[in-house]
């Protein structure tokens, strides 16, 4: 405990934030009762993972705070300055607690390293930052956001321009070896008090947002139908005004917005979890759709890089799975004549591959994460992941973009409405032709990360010989490249991996159910029972019955 207290005191002495200093002093004063909490905060530094830094807002090296941000910004700035001296870093931020402060600190550190820094003009979506990196020819970009994580979290995404990220990585999130090189520069920063701080940097005017909106509106055909009533929520995030402007510019009527969720609010007061995938998160926008007579429901996550869709089914509404939206968008772009490579990940539905084969189009399958999807090919025309992420205009934003995705969904829905048809009708057409590709997910949240590694070890030590009474024809272990296991039978697939952004173990399930004699209802009934059985068998193989989801 003496060693722990000494480490904490050394951190306090170098921490630039008086609030964080006081927070740690309280924990020191509360020893030994606070030992577990203090050890957790000093168990190790936050490291660059799937989406840069992400963690709880708290003092100490294992949290998001001003000291950790200064260290990260110093490492990034040194890495950039060694390769592009005097170049530009553009910085964005959302409405979470600390985001603006962290963005300002990043700008001061960047200018202190001899770089130019420019901040976006206010709380704006992540896609606007990704767009700005390309549009301004920046060397790098930083977005301060924790996306759809809980309110107590914040994060730090890093993007690179063409000179440092390459052609496919122009405006994309970092990948190896850049992430490890930047991490090494961060760890080389030993004294925060010695990090040189410069001026605040420039604040860009609203022209950068106007340029994004203009480019976003151009992803839809101006001559296609636009008659559509939409109910929308930004889930207390920063997407509302930019989405509204983009829809008006594209020729749609502005969506009806959930009033209690319209303004950015980093406490997310009306939802238990600010992620449209979570149960209950879209209840208010569905209620608005019912009272306003909407044709379509759209939701963004708090930084607006994801897009969720719900459609009317009789007197109720159904939230579409990410794979359903992903396939609808791909099919629509293919029907519009968009040629090139269509990309998705190993955990997304294999239906996209079937559509590409049918139309003789390029197909790429990558590891999870948009940093890999957008590098799926030089002629990439579209990419998606099942976690509600879609890239419909990779030459505009080389990342997932919930605003342009919403526009293309609306274009498809409006075109179908003009023909007296719906998104469900289009899904049914695809199923009748190719069979029902049904996906589901087994997601287990843990308090102790060892539970995840133990479950993966159990699976590796005893791979199932069969699933759904079919022999396992393929069992792939992607170590050491990725901690992923893929099991396949003739009619099913299971992909198991730890989450890259949350303390979760995830199993992605897929079955393919033939549609006999056009009887979709019977096929859906069989598929529903089969996917439940696959979920049960997967849980048993992982040995996770004792873990609370």
The three-class DSSP label of residue 318 is strand
Give the pLDDT confidence score for residue 51 in this predicted structure: 61
- Asked if the structure places residue 549 within a domain, the reply is no
For position 549, what pLDDT does the model report?
39
Asked whether 53 and 142 are in contact (CB, 8 A), the reply is no
pLDDT of 248:
98
Overall number of domains in the chain: 4
| CA pair distance 41, 525, nearest whole angstrom | 49
Output the pLDDT for position 50.
58
**Residue 454 has which token pair?**
């133990």
Looking up residue 153, the CATH number of its domain turns out to be: 3.40.120.10
Domain boundary among 431, 446, 475: 431
- 439, part of any domain: yes
CB contact set of 120 (below 8 Å; sequence gap of 6+): 90, 91, 92, 93, 128, 129, 132, 204, 208, 209
How high is the pLDDT of residue 475? 96
**Which residues on neighbouring strands pair with residue 311, listed in sequence order?**
318
Query: Which band of pLDDT confidence, cut at 50, 70 and 90, is reported for residue 500?
Result: confident
Higher pLDDT, 442 or 545: 442
Please compute, for residue 214, the number of CA atoms within 13 A of its CA located in the half-sphere on the CB side.
7
Residue 543 — pLDDT band, cuts 50, 70, 90?
Answer: confident
Same domain as 412, residue 271: yes
* Domain assignment of residue 6, yes or no: yes
Q: What percent of the chain has pLDDT over 70?
A: 99
Establish if 483 belongs to a structural domain.
yes
474 catalytically annotated: no
**What was the pLDDT predicted at 30?**
96
pLDDT of amino acid 528: 96
Q: Is the pLDDT of residue 98 over 60?
A: yes
pLDDT average, residue stretch 360-375: 96
Say what the pLDDT of residue 1 is: 75
- Residue 145's closest CA among 20, 263, 282, 238? 238
Do residues 443 and 394 both lie within one domain?
no
Closest CA to 90 of 202, 205, 206: 202
Q: 147 and 104: one domain?
A: yes
- Cα–Cα distance between 172 and 177 in angstroms, integer? 14
Task: For residues 308-316, give the mean pLDDT.
Answer: 95
pTM of the full structure: 0.95
State both tokens at 485.
């296991």
What would the mean pLDDT of 331-337 be, rounded to a whole number? 98
Among 415, 431, 447, the domain-final residue is: 431
pLDDT value, residue 36? 96
**Same domain for 196 and 309:** no
Same domain, 30 and 117: no
410 with 300, same domain? yes
Neighbouring CB atoms inside 10 A of 518's CB total: 10
Predicted confidence (pLDDT) at residue 48 exceeds the cutoff of 90 = no
Domain match, 24 and 76 both: no
- Out of 205, 224, 252, a domain closes at 205
Q: Over the chain, what is the mean pLDDT?
A: 95
Residue 450's domain comprises 435-542
- The answer to the question of residue 7 being in a domain is yes
The answer to whether position 548 is within a domain reads no
Q: Are residues 177 and 238 in the same domain?
A: no
pLDDT classification of 450: cutoffs 50, 70, 90: confident
pLDDT, tens digit, for every residue of 379-434? 999 999 999 999 999 999 999 999 999 999 999 999 999 999 999 999 999 999 99
Residues 504 and 408 in one domain: no
CATH of the domain at 498: 3.30.310
Percentage of the chain modeled with pLDDT above 90:
93
- pLDDT at residue 548 above 50? no
Structure tokens at 347: 């955990």
Distance (Å) of CA 448 to CA 57, 151, 163, 361, 527: 19, 20, 40, 44, 34
Is 547 inside a domain boundary?
no
Does the structure show a pLDDT above 70 at 547?
no
The C-alpha atoms of residue 468 and residue 490 are separated, in whole angstroms, by 10
**Helices 402-418 and 207-217: angle between axes, nearest 10 degrees:** 30
**Same-domain check for residues 419 and 459:** no
Q: Angle at the Cα of 69 (from 152 to 137), degrees rounded to 5?
A: 110
The radius of gyration of the chain's CA atoms, rounded to the nearest angstrom, is 24
Same domain, 71 and 28: no
> 149-161, pLDDT tens digit by residue?
999 999 999 999 9
Question: pLDDT tens across 164-199, in order?
Answer: 999 999 999 999 999 999 999 999 999 999 999 999
Exactly one of 77, 99, 147, 349 is catalytic; which is it?
147
* Whether residue 522 sits in one domain with residue 439: yes
Determine the average pLDDT of the residues in 119-128.
Answer: 98
- Residue 49: which pLDDT band, with cuts at 50, 70 and 90? low
Q: Indicate whether 339 belongs to any domain.
A: yes
Q: How confident is the model at residue 312 (pLDDT cuts 50, 70, 90)?
A: very high
């Amino acid at each position: 405990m003496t060693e722990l207290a000494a480490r904490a005191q050394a951190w306090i002495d170098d921490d630039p934030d008086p609030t964080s200093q006081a927070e740690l002093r309280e924990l020191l004063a509360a020893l030994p009762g606070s030992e577990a909490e203090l050890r957790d905060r000093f168990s190790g530094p936050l490291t660059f993972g799937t989406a840069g830094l992400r963690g709880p807002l708290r003092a100490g090296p294992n949290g998001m705070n001003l000291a950790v941000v200064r260290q990260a910004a110093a490492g990034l700035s040194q890495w950039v300055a060694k390769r592009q001296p005097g170049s530009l870093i553009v910085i964005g931020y959302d409405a979470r607690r600390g985001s603006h402060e962290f963005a300002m600190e990043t700008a001061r550190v960047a200018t202190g390293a001899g770089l130019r820094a420019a901040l976006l003009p206010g709380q704006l979506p992540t896609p606007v930052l990704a767009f700005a990196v390309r549009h301004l020819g920046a060397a790098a970009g930083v977005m301060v956001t924790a996306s759809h994580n809980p309110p107590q979290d914040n994060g730090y995404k890093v993007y690179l321009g063409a000179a440092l990220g390459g052609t496919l990585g122009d405006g994309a999130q970092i990948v190896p070896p850049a992430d490890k090189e930047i991490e090494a520069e961060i760890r080389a920063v030993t004294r925060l008090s010695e990090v040189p701080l410069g001026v605040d940097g420039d604040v860009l005017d609203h022209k950068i947002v106007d340029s994004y909106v203009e480019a976003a509106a151009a992803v839809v055909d101006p001559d296609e139908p636009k008659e559509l009533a939409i109910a929308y929520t930004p889930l207390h995030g920063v997407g509302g005004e930019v989405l509204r402007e983009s829809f008006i510019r594209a020729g749609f009527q502005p969506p009806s917005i959930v009033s209690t969720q319209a303004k950015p609010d980093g406490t997310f007061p009306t939802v238990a979890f600010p992620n449209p995938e979570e149960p209950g998160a879209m209840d208010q926008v569905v209620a608005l759709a019912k009272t306003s007579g909407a044709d379509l429901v759209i939701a963004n996550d708090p930084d607006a890089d994801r897009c969720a869709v719900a459609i009317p089914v009789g007197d109720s509404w159904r939230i579409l799975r990410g794979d359903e939206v992903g396939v609808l968008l791909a099919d629509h772009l293919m029907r519009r004549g968009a040629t090139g490579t269509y990309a998705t990940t190993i955990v997304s539905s294999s239906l996209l591959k079937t559509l590409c084969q049918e139309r003789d189009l390029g197909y790429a399958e990558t590891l999870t994460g948009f940093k890999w999807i957008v590098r799926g090919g030089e002629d990439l025309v579209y990419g998606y992941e099942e976690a509600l992420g879609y890239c419909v205009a990779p030459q505009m934003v080389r990342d997932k973009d919930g605003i342009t995705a919403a526009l293309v969904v609306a274009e498809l829905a409006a075109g179908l409405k003009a023909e007296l048809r719906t998104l469900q009708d289009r899904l049914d057409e695809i199923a009748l032709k190719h069979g029902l590709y049904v996906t589901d997910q087994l997601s287990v949240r843990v308090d102790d990360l060892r539970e995840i590694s133990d479950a993966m070890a159990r699976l590796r030590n005893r791979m199932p010989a069969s699933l759904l009474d079919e022999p396992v024809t393929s069992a792939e272990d992607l170590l050491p490249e990725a901690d992923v296991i893929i099991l396949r039978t003739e009619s099913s697939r299971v992909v198991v991996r730890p989450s890259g952004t949350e303390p979760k173990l995830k199993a992605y399930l897929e079955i393919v159910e033939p549609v006999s004699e056009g009887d979709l209802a019977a096929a859906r009934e069989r598929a529903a029972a089969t996917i439940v059985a696959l979920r049960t068998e997967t849980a048993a193989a992982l040995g996770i019955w004792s873990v609370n989801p």
